[in-house]
Amino acid sequence: MIRLATYAPREQPALTRLAALAPLDAEASVAVATAIDHAATMRPRAELAVEGRRIAGPRLIVSGWAARTKIMPDGRRQFLSFLLPGDLIGMCRQPRPIATSTIVALTPVATCAAPPADVSPWLAEAYAMSAALEEAYLLAHIVRLGRMHAQERIADLLLELLERLTLNGMASGGQFEMPLTQEMLGDALGLTSVHINRMLQAARREGDIVWRERQVELVDPEKLAERMGRRPMLVSAAA
Amino acid sequence: MIRLATYAPREQPALTRLAALAPLDAEASVAVATAIDHAATMRPRAELAVEGRRIAGPRLIVSGWAARTKIMPDGRRQFLSFLLPGDLIGMCRQPRPIATSTIVALTPVATCAAPPADVSPWLAEAYAMSAALEEAYLLAHIVRLGRMHAQERIADLLLELLERLTLNGMASGGQFEMPLTQEMLGDALGLTSVHINRMLQAARREGDIVWRERQVELVDPEKLAERMGRRPMLVSAAA
DNA sequence: CGCTGTGTTGAGGAAGATCAAGCGCCGTGG
DNA sequence: CCACGGCGCTTGATCTTCCTCAACACAGCG
């Protein structure tokens, strides 16, 4: 299902992801690769976009993790989604390039200008797939928050992250590097970090996940996904 | 803020909304009005779209309420969003017209084919605004589910509905007709109908809302919005 | 060396779920 | 015409999940 095009070396997650979303031709691959060469990096906690403010232009995440966030007047914070290498930001086809949410870097993040879609129809296709996936993940997040218990929320989110990181080549064998703190996980899942901690311990005790030294392993992703009634997004989006 | 164009009679909420999103010219107004004349109606519980299945084409809600839903294998149900007169469905600019979620009619619903965007640049503009608003409401819903208490969720959702129904002319003076049952409200807000019931009573006791005979009145929407740190979506989207 | 951020643990409390029952309303069918 | 059943709303009792507050261990880092 996940195909690696000739021009998508494993070493470059952003290119790997786009090539997996659509079979990029040479023009597209070169455009993306050269764009990546001109990436700029930001520190953790830096804001890649601010809600209500104009966006410079569409950008591509080259490395690092970021999150779209909303902060309530009393300080409560909610992560709307995570942004991983290969994800696009500010791709509104709208005339008004206004950010609908604030985006904050969770780790050191490198981004580059996203090559315009008219470089190649395949690149445009990849962008379209990316946008469709993004919406699908937003909807999945609503279900998580609305109808899942703490343990389910955690498992479901980790499965999503595994899926996405597998797509861009940053995960394999159910294992990936996890830069998120338990507090960040809580802010994404509508829970407190204390509760996240306890539920993670339970999951570890039950042998579902192994988590040490910033490395997460989902012991049996298929079984876990089955238990949650989860299907891979790409299948449903591309079917 | 909400302007009524010459061609948007109060009697037609769908047209009213589109005209409020962008100043429609005669071509656009006529196209929409004639499309509305060919609306088809469906019964409650009928499905306007099914997740993973192809969509016939973009459609415009003419009257009635619908909801995007996800149902988990064990029967848990989550409403992703509500669809009101003037809302569009199936407007994916994607090559693949696949529904990302199931849409079910909550009341008798009339829909018509959405006039193509190239009828008029103003109509295209209205569609773009509509899409931007839809995303903004999705994000707001995530915050509701993730970080708000039951009472806040209810108040916030009612404020959103008031805002949207005011935009299409179906509400005035903080008052509108409410076809949703308490169970539907629960399915949208990630709560049980029992708890919705109790929280509604509390809100009534405190004088925040009046709800009888399918009519909802938010006694002081501005104060309520202030208390929740809520701003009108259109302002932030169009600023 | 103290500081800050992250993970961990405990005790107690509050929000919301679950289970169960009853009520009023309305459409349907005898 | 009335009995019936279904649906939506309401209420009570009880239980679970998750939060809050607090403290402490540990590591990296200036």
Q: Chain-centre distance of CA B214, in angstroms?
A: 17
Do A190 and A78 contact (CB within 8 A), yes or no?
Answer: yes
Rg from Cα positions in chain A? 18
Residues with CB under 7 A from strand C: A 181-183, 193-194, 197-198, 200-201; B 149-151, 190-192, 194-195, 199
Residue of B nearest to A150 (CA): B146
Q: Is pLDDT above 60 for A7?
A: no
pLDDT tens figures, A18-29: 999 999 999 999
d(CA B81, CA B76) in angstroms, rounded, equals: 16
First to last CA, chain B: 11
Q: Is pLDDT above 60 for A237?
A: no
How many pairs of residues across A and B have Cβ atoms under 8 Å apart? 107
Q: Within a 10 A sphere around the Cβ of A164, how many other Cβ atoms?
A: 23
CA of residue A182 to C1' of nucleotide C5, angstroms? 12
Percent of residues, chain A, with pLDDT higher than 90:
80
Highest-confidence range of A219-228, B92-101, B180-189, by mean pLDDT? B180-189
What's the pTM value of the predicted model, to 2 decimals? 0.93
Q: Is pLDDT above 50 for A8?
A: no
| Predicted local confidence at residue A105, as pLDDT | 97
Q: Is pLDDT above 50 for B204?
A: yes
**Nearest-5° Cα angle at A116, A115 to A118:** 130
For strand B66-71 and strand B102-105, is the pairing parallel, antiparallel, or unpaired? antiparallel
Structure-token match 């009005």, residue found: B33
Percent of residues, chain B, with pLDDT higher than 70:
92
Burial of A6 (0-12, 13-18, 19+ CB in 10 A): exposed
pLDDT tens figures, B128-174: 999 999 999 999 999 999 999 999 999 999 999 999 999 999 999 99
d(CA B210, CA B231) in angstroms, rounded, equals: 22
Q: Is pLDDT above 80 for B92?
A: no
CA of residue B40 to C1' of nucleotide C19, angstroms? 42
d(CA B114, CA B75) in angstroms, rounded, equals: 33
Tokens (6 digits) for A194: 């204390």
- Substitution target in B77, B147, B193, B231 with the highest count of A β-carbons within 10 Å is B147
Q: Which residues of A touch B55 (CB under 8 A)?
A: none
Q: Which residues of A touch B145 (CB under 8 A)?
A: 142, 145-146, 190
CA B28 to chain A, closest CA, distance in angstroms equals 19
CA A43 to chain B, closest CA, distance in angstroms equals 25
Residue by residue, DSSP assigns chain A as -----TT--TT-HHHHHHHHHS---HHHHHHHHHHHHT-EEE-TT-EEE-TTSBP-S-EEEEES-EEEEEE-TTS-EEEEEEE-TT-EES---SSS-B-SSEEEESS-EEEEEPPPGGG-HHHHHHHHHHHHHHHHHHHHHHHHHHH--HHHHHHHHHHHHHHHHHHTTSEETTEEE----HHHHHHHHTS-HHHHHHHHHHHHHTTSEEEETTEEEES-HHHHHHHHT---HHHHHH-
pLDDT tens figures, B96-128: 678 999 999 999 999 999 999 999 999 999 999
Do B224 and B163 contact (CB within 8 A), yes or no?
Answer: no
CA B54 to chain A, closest CA, distance in angstroms equals 10
At residue A92 the predicted structure's pLDDT band, cuts being 50, 70 and 90, is confident
Tokens (6 digits) for A121: 């129809």
Q: Do B98 and A239 touch (CB under 8 A)?
A: yes
How are the residues of chain B apportioned to helix, strand and coil, as percentages rounded to the nearest 5?
45, 20, 35
Tokens (6 digits) for A130: 């990316």
For strand B59-63 and strand B47-49, is the pairing parallel, antiparallel, or unpaired? unpaired
- Which residue's CA lies closest to nucleotide D7 at its C1' atom? B181
Structure-token match 């797509």, residue found: A167
Rg from Cα positions in chain B? 18
Do A100 and B135 contact (CB within 8 A), yes or no?
Answer: yes
Element spanning B15, H or E: helix B13-21
pLDDT tens figures, A196-217: 999 999 999 999 999 988 999 9
Q: Is pLDDT above 70 for B2?
A: no
Q: Do B52 and A135 touch (CB under 8 A)?
A: no
Q: Is pLDDT above 70 for B214?
A: yes
d(CA B183, CA B190) in angstroms, rounded, equals: 10
Strand C: which nucleotides have any atom within 7 A of a protein Cβ?
5-11, 15-20
Contacts for B8 with CB less than 8 Å, ≥ 6 apart: B15, B16, B18, B19, B20, B24, B29
d(CA A172, CA B20) in angstroms, rounded, equals: 50
Mean pLDDT computed over A148-153: 97
Choose among A140, A31, A48: nearest CA to A89: A48
Q: Is the dihedral of CA A106, A110, A114, A119 positive or negative?
A: negative
Do A195 and A188 contact (CB within 8 A), yes or no?
Answer: no
Tokens (6 digits) for B110: 């009339």
